[in-house]
Chains A and B, each alone.
Chain A
């Protein structure tokens, strides 16, 4: 069995601060492996048998190699970095095009293609399903757990209002629905083992994609303008030592509502 996991490097939003204008300060914020992807990786590791292979790939700037390095420490066998200046500014469609082209050319015929639910940097979690649509394979969203039996792989999907148990055919796209906030650590042994593993870099030409199929130029949506949301709230700040007094303030507001 061969499992292919798509991952992303994201700024660590837990470390982000807000400046006086309310804008996020991204400078100096460390980058991390998207925790949802890390969770997917650890989950899939859990169902693997000896001899199975785990491949990870990411589209991103050259620095995204750090996220792949971490994947290798967490048990991935090989990694690909899809990096090209032309990939910048991609929307969901252009991103899905690159990922699908990669899969078709370099890792076709895997048992499963695995994604995390979403990236914590504001991504809306559409990419896995566009990839599945482009590949023309089945898609399994919000997967809670996977198990394999003699007949293949079984998934439990959590749609919020419904839990679905379903058989997952070979070659499907699977997106895990959750995250482990505690995260994991590789062991020292994992760290040493990862040193000898390889990260292959691929650019646009290697993927056989045209300049107008990728990045901003290949995107089908375009930001035409942005607006600052001005808060119309008249802020009254009260410093309160006595919690009872604070409770009184709030109860007054509640009374006013009635």
Chain B
């Protein structure tokens, strides 16, 4: 096209002007020019070690169920591991996976963010998904940003909701600066998000068929790993608890944690906490509710001595019923509880323990 100074005319589309303002009105929409053909959702299936071999992590199952509902297109899944992963196929297809990529290769069985991200990037280039989802787990939170950087795309972390408008995803996450939630869009494909466990219901396993593809990948660097030691984490997860006895800054005496544990065991609940107790070293991080901890959705959440900072409220917002016990009548937690008791948290906790002991 001699004489055409790309982008300056609006008579033809040969030089590929990408400025929609210079195209005739409606043309872009009519011809769907400059649109990515990306479609479908890719979910990273994280596995956890169970007693009889690997299991699908709860959050990954939830995401597969959600992906099936959110996408008109295909649902892709990628799982890493050796032969021991094979028994999981029926379950994954049962969640609605159309195509499962099973990555195998020397050095790819153990989780490492760099080769995992590089491998997923090669997959993404092949299948061109519109969306990539991962659980906001400790691994997901470091793998997702690495992959986003490699792909050069946007990432919304720690989502608590996803809705789809055809291929376009709207990601919802709590926004700092108030009890606001922000709806966020990614301006490029693939769109990426990490999603909190408990955001979607765990789907039922149905009859399903799909294609499994072995994907060979060899990492290009030494792992340097000297040892991986499993930590015996208590099998109970505060995200599964029906009743949570949650302790906060107002708990001034360490022995109250034992009292709370005793109460929890009597009522069939678990003890959780706010950030300050983790920072004091009184409770493990796995018990922390809130933005930097876990999102919980119990039937009953009893907050003892928790002031109710926004970060904490985000984590407890899924609770069906909330009781707040705090001696400060102005503590914000009272505004977010069904029942507020203005009383000393420690005293009430001790009394509960005593009363429940009597009942036997």
A residues contacting B by CB (< 8 A) are 13, 16, 18, 21-24, 26, 91-93, 96, 118, 121-122, 124-134, 138-139, 141-142, 154, 158-169, 179, 181, 219-229, 231, 233-241, 243-244, 246-251, 253-254, 257
Task: Judge whether A23 and B352 touch: CB under 8 Å.
Answer: no
Nearest chain A CB to B124's CB is how many angstroms away?
Answer: 13
B contact patch SS = mixed
A221 with B145: in contact, given A163-B229, A251-B355 (CB under 8 Å)? Answer: no
**Does chain A have a CB within 8 A of B127?**
no
Task: Judge whether B352 and A251 touch: CB under 8 Å.
Answer: yes
When C-beta atoms are compared, the residue in chain A nearest to B279 turns out to be: A181
Task: Judge whether A160 and B231 touch: CB under 8 Å.
Answer: yes
**Docked CA distance A121–B176 (Å):** 7
Task: Judge whether B340 and A237 touch: CB under 8 Å.
Answer: yes
B residues contacting A by CB (< 8 A) are 48, 113-114, 117, 138-139, 141-150, 152-158, 170, 175-188, 221, 223-231, 233, 242-243, 267, 276, 279-280, 285-286, 291-292, 299-300, 302, 308-311, 317, 321-323, 325, 329, 332, 334-344, 347-352, 354-356
When C-beta atoms are compared, the residue in chain B nearest to A118 turns out to be: B292
**Docked CA distance A179–B281 (Å):** 10
Task: Judge whether A221 and B155 touch: CB under 8 Å.
Answer: yes
**Docked CA distance A161–B285 (Å):** 11
B117 CB contacts on chain A under 8 angstroms: 133
Other A-B contacts than A125-B141, A158-B231, 9 sampled, CB-CB below 8 A, are: A22-B179, A22-B335, A92-B145, A129-B142, A161-B230, A164-B227, A167-B226, A246-B348, A247-B354
B285 CB contacts on chain A under 8 angstroms: 160
Task: Judge whether B300 and A23 touch: CB under 8 Å.
Answer: no
Pick the 8 closest A-B CB pairs, nearest first: A133-B149, A220-B154, A122-B176, A243-B347, A23-B178, A247-B351, A167-B224, A181-B279
A239 CB contacts on chain B under 8 angstroms: 329, 341-343
Task: Judge whether B179 and A257 touch: CB under 8 Å.
Answer: no
Task: Judge whether B334 and A23 touch: CB under 8 Å.
Answer: no
Task: Judge whether A134 and B149 touch: CB under 8 Å.
Answer: yes
Task: Judge whether A246 and B341 touch: CB under 8 Å.
Answer: yes
A91 CB contacts on chain B under 8 angstroms: 154
B311 CB contacts on chain A under 8 angstroms: 13, 122
B342 CB contacts on chain A under 8 angstroms: 237-240
B228 CB contacts on chain A under 8 angstroms: 162-164
Task: Judge whether A124 and B157 touch: CB under 8 Å.
Answer: yes
Task: Judge whether A250 and B302 touch: CB under 8 Å.
Answer: yes
